[in-house]
Amino acid sequence: MTIKEIKHCSFCGIEQSASIPLIAGAEGYICGACVALAHQVVSNWSRKKELSKMQGTLPIPVKIKEHLDQYVIGQQLAKEILAVAVYNHYKRLKHESGDAGLGQFDKDVEIGKSNLLLIGPSGTGKTLLASTLAKIVGVPFVVADATTLTQAGYVGDDVENILVRLLDVAEGNMANAEWGIVYLDEIDKIARSPEQPTGTRDVSGEGVQQALLRLVEGSQVKLPNKGRHSKEGSDLIMDTRNILFIAGGSFPGLEKHVEKRLVPSNTAIGFHASVNQTNEKPSLEAMLNATQPSDLRKFGLIPEFIGRFPVLAPLEPLDIDALIRVLTEPKNALLKQYQQLFAYEGVALEFTQEALAAIAQKAIERETGARGLRSIMEQILRKTMFDIPSASDVEQCLIDADAVQGTGDVRLIKKAAADGLRQQAG
């Protein structure tokens, strides 16, 4: 009588039993646990290969900040915070891509993510920082406008549509999309309205904040398959655990809440009132730098939402010098753009330093920040841009402070006059 051979898993050596079935191969057997581990290893190999194709070398924070410096003036603190966040995001991807060997998965420390919240006045460069970041990163990047979002079931975009757009940017590759970065713009517009009557559904404010909680923290999210050709019964599920969320907003009036906390009001009157020796009010920059989660809660963000954005990055208001640099220094500076437009007509456009200072002063008066510079430039150059294509003898266009203020005209120097000036100089 022959003894029945007991089958073993060729990988871990476990014996076959009623509770542990084995899969037979040509020359061996494998158990279910080893199949699962092998699948994890192979999927991490493919992710690692995709990651190396997608991003190349790991960009260090200094290099990321140097790239941001080429497009965004000032905001050193915000750029440093963003550079560190993106660098750490890449490091997490390296970790997730399977640098750990077989059997090391339980020993690795799971690295969490730190979502960011950019706070600063309108026109200080929040959206520009995000769009410039999109050029640097090798991962899918999408900018979403929070003002278009509503609670599920109401007219407007559902929060899950942000992930659908991220998947589209990743060209349908779910693994790449799950490593992406999402920028939520105008996040202050979904703050809870203090005038909202009790018992009324705030479908575009607090309701959106609650809907975003699950996405931002990290969970398995079912994507709406509107217009997608997918097999019946196969729903698209995206894991948001590794998606970095950056939110930005101007938060108008936030400084009032900060000021109340920093400068306690003295309500005493008469003989008991203390004489306030200093009437100095903290600057807007100082108040934004001193922002605490409690101030955001008073503004209208719910505590759960604030808690999911642990890193606050304040952006400082731009002064005249910074606005002049915005006009002249970046790669896509407005002055360079208009000079190129005039160069197409064969005309050299020049601004005096006083004219640039006057344009910056106008932007500060309008309280529009760098965003208002283009409208001011258009207003100054509109008539000139209308006339120049019709004139073939103009060689140079000079803008001085009087032209900016409206008390003088734009100086158009014709070719013959320019030749005469050159001969006099010679």
Q: Which residues are annotated as a binding site for Zn(2+)?
A: 9, 12, 31, 34
Distance CA 68, CA 83 (A): 9
Burial class (CB in 10 A: 0-12, 13-18, 19+), 80: middle
Distance CA 245, CA 310 (A): 11
Q: Which two tokens stand for residue 107?
A: 């020993």
Helix (H, G, I), strand (E, B) or coil at 411: strand
Residues that constitute the known binding site for ATP: 121-128
| Amino acid in position 414 | K
| Amino acid in position 17 | S
Q: Are 45 and 39 in contact (CB under 8 A)?
A: no
CA nearest neighbour of 218 among 238, 199, 204, 201? 238
CA distances from 139 to 131, 166, 167, 328 (A): 13, 10, 11, 31
Helices assigned H by DSSP within 271-372: 284-289, 293-299, 303-307, 320-328, 334-343, 353-366
Q: Are 203 and 161 in contact (CB under 8 A)?
A: no
Residues that constitute the known binding site: 9, 12, 31, 34, 121-128
Burial letters 353-385, b for 16+ CB under 10 A, else e: eebbbbbbbbbeeeebbbebbeebbeebbeebb
Helix (H), strand (E) at residue 134? helix 126-136
CA nearest neighbour of 397 among 353, 325, 331, 338? 338
| Amino acid in position 179 | W
